[in-house]
Amino acid sequence: MDVVPQTKRLRLSLNMTFAEINDPKGFCKDVSSLGRWGNGDVEVGLATLDELPYVMGLVRQSFERQMGNGEVA
């Protein structure tokens, strides 16, 4: 995961394909064809502390994939 601090949020790049992420709230954006800075094809923003638990669940999915357990949480 890469973290890019911005004025009003943190932009997180998750190192996985967009098709692999389980994001029922639709926070994630497919950036595979945008050429953004960072690893991975999934971008998610974190603007408030209220979003933190949900965003951490997305980060956990990427972490578990990187650890090789073969499952997406």
Domain residue limits at 19: 2-66
Buried b / exposed e over 12-27, threshold 16 CB at 10 Å, is: bbbebebeebebeeeb
Whether 8 is in a domain gets the answer yes
- Taking residues 25-45, report their average pLDDT: 85
Whether 72 is in a domain gets the answer no
Q: What is the reported pTM?
A: 0.83
pLDDT of residue 34: 80
CA–CA dist 4, 31 (Å, integer): 14
First to last CA, the chain: 16
pLDDT of residue 70: 54
- Taking residues 49-54, report their average pLDDT: 97
CA–CA dist 43, 23 (Å, integer): 12
Name the 3-class secondary structure at 30: strand
Give me the number of domains the chain comprises: 1
Q: Is 55's pLDDT higher than 80?
A: yes
Whether 28 is in a domain gets the answer yes
pLDDT of residue 28: 96
Whether 73 is in a domain gets the answer no
Q: Is 53's pLDDT higher than 60?
A: yes
Sign of CA dihedral 41, 30, 18, 25: positive
